Amino acid sequence: MSKNPAQPKPSEPGLFVNFDPPKFTTWTHIATAVEQPDMGNEIGKFLQSEQQPTLHDIECQLTPRQKVSKKTQTIMAKVLKAITGIHISVINFYIG
């Protein structure tokens, strides 16, 4: 009997050879969050105020025919009243 210990035979020569550790290092940044229980309401208020259209935004969406000033409407109502003799309280004038 021989006293040589049994050595496993590699399946393919050269396989699993020269596995060097990677030459780069990765860093993972971890941010710590501090809980602020009332911030949800503040964020909600901010988002709501940001999503509310302003008068300027609404006016920009109107077509030029819809943009008739109050002064122009008053003058046109007076002219119409003078011509027809009928008093009209609400008039929708469209210029175009």
Q: Which domain holds residue 95?
A: 64-96
35 occurs within a structural domain: no
13 occurs within a structural domain: no
Q: State phi, psi for 36 to the nearest 5 degrees.
A: -130, 100
Q: For 18-76, write each residue's pLDDT tens digit.
A: 666 666 666 666 666 555 555 567 777 777 666 677 777 777 777 666 566 778 888 88
Measured from the Cβ of residue 77, the count of other Cβ atoms closer than 10 Å reads 16
37 occurs within a structural domain: no
Question: Position of tokens 């290092």?
Answer: 25
- CB of 58 closer than 8 Å to CB of 47: no
40 occurs within a structural domain: no
One-letter identity of residue 9: K
pTM: 0.24
Alpha-carbon distance of 9 to 36, in angstroms, equals 63
Q: Is 55 helix (H, G, I), strand (E, B) or coil?
A: helix
Q: What is the dihedral of CA 39, 43, 48, 50, to 10 degrees?
A: 140
82 occurs within a structural domain: yes
